[in-house]
């Protein structure tokens, strides 16, 4: 499930497509959801993905580790 989330959280934000043609390497600002759940679902941090899977599937085992296969840099790294 974490691998699925790591793939689906990467999408082209609508704001970039509003101005055509898009510039190469254009990135949207860091996004914050309307509540904690929406922010978790839109997060690019793998620790948040583990929290989401634990909400649905129960607590992960003590030795569980997750390393994303794909690294996305579609968002700015600024934290507000």
Is 6 among the domain residues?
no
The backbone torsions φ and ψ at residue 71, rounded to the nearest 5 degrees and listed phi first, read -105, 125
How many separate domains does the chain show? 1
Q: What is the pTM of this model?
A: 0.55
Share of the chain above pLDDT 70, in %: 62
pLDDT band at 80 (very low <50, low <70, confident <90, very high): very low
Q: Which domain holds residue 48?
A: 32-56
- Report the C-alpha gap between 6 and 72 in whole angstroms: 9
Is 3 among the domain residues?
no
- Give the tens place of pLDDT for each residue, 36-75: 888 888 787 888 888 988 998 899 888 888 877 766 554 4
Is 41 among the domain residues?
yes
Q: Is 49 exposed, middle or buried (0-12, 13-18, 19+ CB in 10 A)?
A: buried
Is 45 among the domain residues?
yes
* Res 72: pLDDT: 55
Is 4 among the domain residues?
no
* Res 1: pLDDT: 75
């Amino acid at each position: 499930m974490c691998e699925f989330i790591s793939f689906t959280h990467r999408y082209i934000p609508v704001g970039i497509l509003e101005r055509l043609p898009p510039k190469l390497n254009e990135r949207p600002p860091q996004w914050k959801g309307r509540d904690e759940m929406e922010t978790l679902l839109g997060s690019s941090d793998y620790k948040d993905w583990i929290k989401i899977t634990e909400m649905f599937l129960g607590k992960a085992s003590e030795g569980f580790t997750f390393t994303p296969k794909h690294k996305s840099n579609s968002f700015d790294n600024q934290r507000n």
